[in-house]
Structure 1
Amino acid sequence: MPIDVGRALSAEPCRTDLVWGHKDIQLYHLGIGAGANPDKDGPATDPDELRYTLESRLHVLPSFATVAGGALAAAGGLSTPGIDVDLAAVLHGGQRLELHRPIPVEGRAVQTSRIAAVYDKGKAAVIVLRSDAADEDGPLWTSDTLIFVRGEGGFGGERGPSERLELPDREPDRTALRPVREDQALLYRLSGDWNPLHADPEFAKLAGFDKPILHGLCTYGITLKAVVDTALDGDVSRVRAYTTRFAGVVYPGETLRIRMWRDEGRVQVSVTAVDRDDAPVLADTVIEHG
């Protein structure tokens, strides 16, 4: 079997040195749409966006952890001993991020990654890659990347969690529309995800898409920024954790509808593609905050 579960779980953790500075932060923020004003009746650039784009006012959106140091967690996990799968069968199934403290604008950290679990979903396997990052002052974040591998299930392992989060039976407390620029994927990939699926039309067609699609983690960042800006008073330091399941694709040029339901210490979120009759994009999405 291409996945040797015992070997994968017992493999030595992979250590990666991460280094980033304000340019990396600014590029990431621009890659998820910072700097633009979604209100077409307002100024071309909202002054509040300077906290994402101007080095003298810069703060760090926590989802930057998914690209810090240019590292690709999913790619690293697929090189773990015991993991030998067809990349064409691999999908990014979900992401969870836990923040231990705010991410500094300039940083050096060591990220330790390991396979935390391999679940048997019958016709597919789900690999959970856990990455912990820490600097000289202690832990920064813990990130779980869920990698869905078609055709690799049926090995008799644990099925793992499969609960779906129902949306509240009421109108959302906030709704934000976020247009995705035609060149958004080209800009976002400069933060380290060079998969041609997001840039090359011919490659995208081979993968079954009419044209290149937006990175799931770009949508992940766009969504977190919308929640921080509209439901958390623009304060990135309030974010404690952020979980999502990737439920569908986004094409550059589309508009995202981000609906938010507030509760004590959490915001539940639904993201859909307005241009395709609100087709699901992100599901089972929760942002925990202080």
Structure 2
Amino acid sequence: MPIDPAKATTAAPRTFPLAWDHKDILLYHLGIGAGIPATDPDELRYTLESRLHVLPGFATVAGGGRAVAGVLSVPGIEVDLAAVLHGGQTVTLHRPIPVRSCDATQTSRVAAVYDKGKAAVIVLRTDVADGDGPLWTGTSEIFVKGEGGFGGERGSTERLEPPATPPDFTVDRPTREDQALLYRLSGDWNPLHADPEFAKLAGFDRPILHGLCSYGIVLKAVVDTAFGGDVSRVRSYTTRFAGVVHPGETLRVRLWRDALGPGRIQVTATAVERDEAPVLMDTVVEHTCRLDPQHG
């Protein structure tokens, strides 16, 4: 059996060192579309080392994104890369991510394996800390086509419906035709995002954008629109990947500030060119509140 849930969830956690510096952060920010317009002071916070702050989505690629890639080598998991998709992602910040770290460590384990019938979902938990203590916790849901039906627990099926009220903000974020080629330099080398022939093997007519690239683009839109660019406001960010993005398409991001109560912004993202097909759903950004009528 390609996936042995009991073996995977009881395997010993894996711990390995992480290191990054400003170049890794700059590359990540460029990979999610930062730097347009290139001389905009608000964009220079993402693209100029002397003004640099770290968007929390960087947690998904720190150290070359080894967490998600590592799930494929966990004991009890043997799957075809062409059958793998990212199903969901959460990052919970314990404190702001530093611009440079040479002594961070990441500990990863398979927290659960769910049986969705025609697919399996592997839940990977990662905890990252440095010499000053915990930095962030990440939870990745990895969707593996054709690996369900083993009689395991199905997991949660709850969905977060978009509010019936108009959004507080609606912003469009275009992607470039080479967006996936740039983003993959941060560590996700899955050929699904670059090789047309491999994409066809995976069931797509052309390469698709990384789900975590869309994840970063949307978080940046929230931070810039609702928080005035203050990345330190973000406490956690969770989403379900509901559909694909083709490089060159435009993401339409909608934000509701108060639908879930203070300190929680509900978000959706759709692909404008395909009749607003869903891209990100069940998406919530938890944040610290402040008395600011403009930015919440």
**TM class, shorter-chain normalised?**
over 0.9
Please list, as runs of the form range in 1=range in 2, the aligned pairs for 1:184-199 lying within 5 A after superposition. Answer: 184-199=179-194
Q: Tell me the CA shift for residue 192 of structure 1.
A: 0.7
Which residue does 1:110 correspond to in 2? 105
Q: Tell me the CA shift for residue 124 of structure 1.
A: 1.8
Structure 2 unaligned residues grouped into runs of 5+: 289-296
Aligned counterpart for 1:135 among listed residues 130, 136, 143:
130
One-letter amino acid of the structure 2 residue matched with residue 173 of structure 1 = D
Which residue does 1:41 correspond to in 2? none
Please list, as runs of the form range in 1=range in 2, the aligned pairs for 1:89-108 lying within 5 A after superposition. Answer: 89-108=83-102
Which residue does 1:40 correspond to in 2? none
Structure 1 unaligned residues grouped into runs of 5+: 38-43
Aligned counterpart for 1:236 among listed residues 231, 244, 254:
231
Would you say 1:282 and 2:280 are equivalent positions? yes
- Per-residue CA deviation, residues 72-95 of structure 1 (Å, 9 max, x unaligned), is 322201211111222222221110
Query: 2:199 and 2:4 mapped to 1: Cα distance?
Result: 30
Moved more, 151-160 or 220-229: 151-160
Would you say 1:23 and 2:23 are equivalent positions? yes
- Aligned identity (percent) is 77
Would you say 1:271 and 2:269 are equivalent positions? yes
Q: Tell me the CA shift for residue 211 of structure 1.
A: 2.0
Query: 1:169 and 1:106 mapped to 2: Cα distance?
Result: 43
CA contact (8 A) 2:207 2:246 kept: yes
Query: 1:65 and 1:241 mapped to 2: Cα distance?
Result: 11
TM-score (normalizing by structure 2): 0.93
Aligned counterpart for 1:179 among listed residues 157, 174, 177:
174
Aligned counterpart for 1:157 among listed residues 152, 155, 166:
152
SS of the residue 1:2 aligns to? coil
- Per-residue CA deviation, residues 129-178 of structure 1 (Å, 9 max, x unaligned), is 00100000000000011011222222222221110001111100001100
Q: Tell me the CA shift for residue 236 of structure 1.
A: 0.5
Query: 1:72 and 1:247 mapped to 2: Cα distance?
Result: 23
Query: 1:14 and 1:273 mapped to 2: Cα distance?
Result: 37
Aligned counterpart for 2:255 among listed residues 255, 260, 265:
260
TM-score (normalizing by structure 1): 0.95
Q: Tell me the CA shift for residue 206 of structure 1.
A: 2.8
Aligned counterpart for 2:73 among listed residues 65, 79, 86:
79
SS of the residue 1:65 aligns to? helix
SS of the residue 1:71 aligns to? helix
Change (3 A) 1:182 1:98: same
Would you say 1:247 and 2:242 are equivalent positions? yes
One-letter amino acid of the structure 2 residue matched with residue 179 of structure 1 = P
One-letter amino acid of the structure 2 residue matched with residue 190 of structure 1 = L
SS of the residue 1:146 aligns to? strand
Q: Tell me the CA shift for residue 198 of structure 1.
A: 1.4
SS of the residue 1:72 aligns to? helix
Query: 1:197 and 1:85 mapped to 2: Cα distance?
Result: 15
Equivalenced residues, count = 284
Change (3 A) 1:239 1:159: same
One-letter amino acid of the structure 1 residue matched with residue 239 of structure 2 = T
Query: 2:257 and 2:51 mapped to 1: Cα distance?
Result: 28
Change (3 A) 1:196 1:89: closer
Please list, as runs of the form range in 1=range in 2, the aligned pairs for 1:10-89 lying within 5 A after superposition. Answer: 10-37=10-37, 45-89=39-83
Would you say 1:2 and 2:15 are equivalent positions? no
Moved more, 77-86 or 94-103: 77-86
One-letter amino acid of the structure 2 residue matched with residue 268 of structure 1 = Q
CA contact (8 A) 2:82 2:192 kept: no
One-letter amino acid of the structure 2 residue matched with residue 163 of structure 1 = E
One-letter amino acid of the structure 1 residue matched with residue 150 of structure 2 = F
